[in-house]
Amino acid sequence: MTVLSVTKTKRATETDSRGTALPVLTLGLADEIFAIETARVHEVLDFVPITRIPNSQPFIRGLINVRGKVITVTDLRVKFGMTFVEPTRDTRIVIAEVMMAGETVTVGAIADRVYEATELPMALMEEAPKIGMRWRSELIQAIGKRNNQFIIVANLDQVFSASSLINY
């Protein structure tokens, strides 16, 4: 099992008066580039077999064991309304922390590929538009720009929130 460790950094916020950058891990879903804050990421794993959970939501792929801890794994493609695809050699599972009902929970998220840990300048980030988006705006923290590409910064707390899971 290949593991990519991500160095934890302080979370930047939109109100950061220094105008810093947001440290993110960029990943691919279909032809889109998404990002999640590196402060949330524990590690990135090669794809491993997942134990299905009967009667679960379509985007819940199942459970994996990471060093003795049971982790629920979600398929980000399906959660964002994209078609399911079988894993490839580039498929990765990102292990991250989210807040659910005021509690920190460790989850796994399947991505088609993981690109790099980088920084997005806060000055080049904007709120997600309310219209014209393929995805529900509450699932998007911001839209960043880098090298003439848009990078969708996912709001992991909303992606994994109880209401998001129930109202899928």
- pLDDT tens readout for residues 134-165: 666 778 888 988 888 899 999 998 888 755 54
| Predicted structure pTM score | 0.82
What per-residue confidence (pLDDT) applies to 160?
A: 83
Contact indicator for 94, 44 with CB cutoff of 8 Å: yes
For residue 104, pLDDT over 90 is answered with: yes
Contact indicator for 116, 109 with CB cutoff of 8 Å: no
Residue bearing tokens 């309304």: 81
Q: What does each C-alpha distance from 166 to 58, 60, 124, 141, 162 come to in angstroms? A: 12, 12, 33, 20, 6
For residue 166, pLDDT over 60 is answered with: no
Contacts (Cβ under 8 Å, ≥6 apart) of 46: 1, 2, 92, 93
Choice between 162 and 127, residue whose per-residue pLDDT is larger = 127
Domains in the chain with CATH codes: 21-166 (2.40.50.180)
What is the pLDDT of the chain when averaged over all its residues? 83
What whole-number distance in Å separates Cα of residue 138 and Cα of residue 159? 8
